[in-house]
A and B are shown apart, each in its own frame.
Chain A
Amino acid sequence: MKKWFVFSLVLLGLTALRPAPSGYQLGDTVLDFKLKNVDDKSVALADYNKSKGIILIFDCNTCPMSKAYNSRIIALHKKFASQGFQVMLINPNSAEVVEEESFDEMKQYAKSHKYDFPYLYDESQETVKKFMPTNTPHVFILKNTGSAFTVAYIGAIDDASNPSKVKQRFVEAAVGDLLAGKTIANPKTKAIGCSIKWKDS
């Protein structure tokens, strides 16, 4: 009897300790997704199955942190696209919460910043929920294993939103490690950023 009581307590404890539902973690396989790009064409992750991987960034039109990182995001694409890791952006925010996050505004934003990589719209936020980014910009580096994409890095672009203070370029270092066939030395980082604007919240 006493044994059962202790057993139930342990079970209860385990349930309480289980983390809240969250998105993909390091090493997880990413399911294919298909979203509308700012050029009105659909883009699927599977379209990139010949690449070495993708620098997937949850980024938006309005967040001052996103604006601070804009030129650094474009520079990442310039540096790594030719080496097999191109940039792909998904806007995680709902235009129902912030009007300026609409698909039309995204088109204008991509045009004025001369994006030559996808900037994807997820009206239902279903794909965003699979990743559960917490802030913009939030980076997920996806590694192509040949048969699937897996999550190799989650976190910040670098260690300072003010470009003149940057000392560690986390994403550059992580992609560099992958290109060199090494394990990523620093696969999880955090940044101060804008919260995600979820529907019905």
Chain B
Amino acid sequence: MSKYLFICLSLFYFTARGQESVKLPELQKLINDGSRVNVVNFWATWCGPCVKELPFFEKVNAQNKNVNVLLVSMDYDLDPNPDKVKKFIERKKLQSKVVILTEENPSSWIEKLDKNWSGALPATLVVNPTTKKRKLIEGELKEGDLEKIIESISQ
């Protein structure tokens, strides 16, 4: 009984924090599957330009119900302890879904997320699971860029 309660509590804890750890196969599904366009941002708490552009994703998450916004933290490579990411989510009051990719050796999986990705942060990947259309942008987005990309991939 107490074990069951513990599981329930920890489930609630992770849901409440809006953050969970994922492995590569799960993340690939989150990126490539589903019925809506997936708007995926690869970021890290240490990456200044990433932090700067996060509000663009929060805005899309709040206003566009036709897309799934997913913020993928790449913090694990430098700092395996998820506390920094959790605190960051709380402080910034992020509403979008956040996952932390907990895989070693980035060289072995960077191209499995998108064959054109160099590994540079920030990177944004917009995928239409129905048409298989996808677009990868490396570097910081400007205001309005994200909406244009979503529009072209949604068609």
A20 closest partner in B (C-beta): B116
Residues of B contacting A195 in the complex (Cβ-Cβ under 8 angstroms): 49, 120-122, 138-140
The residues of A that contact B78 with a CB separation of less than 8 Å are 64-65, 68, 161-162
**Chain-A contact segment, one of B19-27, B61-69, B85-93, B102-110:** B102-110
Partner of B74, one of A165, A167, A168, A192: A192
Q: Is the beta-carbon distance between B104 and A190 smaller than 8 angstroms?
A: no
Any chain B CB within 8 A of the CB of A125?
A: no
**Secondary structure of the B side of the interface?**
loop
CA distance A11 to B118 in the complex (A): 28
28 A–B contact pairs at CB < 8 A?
A: A64-B78, A65-B78, A68-B78, A134-B118, A134-B119, A134-B120, A135-B119, A155-B107, A156-B119, A159-B107, A160-B77, A160-B104, A160-B105, A162-B79, A165-B80, A167-B104, A167-B105, A170-B107, A190-B107, A191-B106, A191-B107, A192-B106, A192-B120, A194-B47, A194-B121, A195-B49, A195-B120, A195-B138
- Answer yes or no: B98 CB below 8 A from chain A CBs: no
Please determine whether A159 and B140 come into contact, CB atoms closer than 8 angstroms: no
Q: How far is the CA of A149 from the CA of B110 in the complex (A)?
A: 29
Besides A190-B119, A191-B107, A192-B120, 9 more A-B contacts (Cβ < 8 Å) are A134-B119, A156-B106, A156-B119, A159-B107, A161-B77, A161-B78, A191-B106, A192-B119, A193-B120
Distance A84 CA – B74 CA, assembled complex (angstroms): 36
Of A68, A155, A191, A201, most B-chain CB atoms within 10 Å:
A191
Residue of A nearest to B45 (CB): A64
Asked if A159 and B120 sit within 8 Å, CB to CB, the answer is no
Q: Indicate whether B44 reaches chain A with its CB closer than 8 angstroms.
A: yes
Does A192 contact B138, Cβ atoms closer than 8 Å? no
CA distance A159 to B107 in the complex (A): 7
Q: Which residues of A contact B77 (CB under 8 A)?
A: 160-162, 165, 192
B 20-50 to A, binary, CB cutoff 8 A, 1 in contact else 0: 0000000000000000000000001011010
Pairwise interchain contact A135-B107, C-beta atoms closer than 8 A: no
Interface core residue of B47, B77, B107, B110 (most chain A CB under 10 Å): B107
Give the A-binding residues of B (Cβ under 8 A). Answer: 44, 46-47, 49, 74, 77-80, 104-108, 110-111, 118-122, 138-140
Give the CA-CA distance A13 to B23 in the complex, in Å: 36
Q: CB-nearest residue of chain A relative to B105?
A: A159
Enumerate chain A residues within 8 angstroms of B140, measured Cβ to Cβ: 195
Contact A192 B110 (CB under 8 A): yes
Q: Taking the complex as formed, is A189 at the interface, i.e. its CB lies under 8 A from any CB of chain B?
A: yes
The complex places the Cα of A170 from the Cα of B110 at a distance, in Å, of: 16
In angstroms, how far is the closest chain B Cβ from the Cβ of A147?
Answer: 31
Taking CB atoms, residues of chain B closer than 8 Å to A134 are 118-120, 138
Least distance between A201 CB and chain B CB atoms (Å): 7
> In chain A, what residue has the closest Cβ to B75?
A192
Instruction: Answer whether residue A196 sits at the interface, using C-beta atoms and an 8 A cutoff.
Output: yes
Question: Contact: B105 with A135, CB < 8 Å?
Answer: no
Docked pose: A87 CA to B78 CA in angstroms: 23
Task: Tell whether, in the assembled complex, residue B104 and residue A165 are in contact, meaning their CB atoms are under 8 Å apart.
Answer: yes
Q: Give the docked Cα–Cα distance between A182 and B80 (Å).
A: 36
Min Cβ gap B29→A in Å is 21
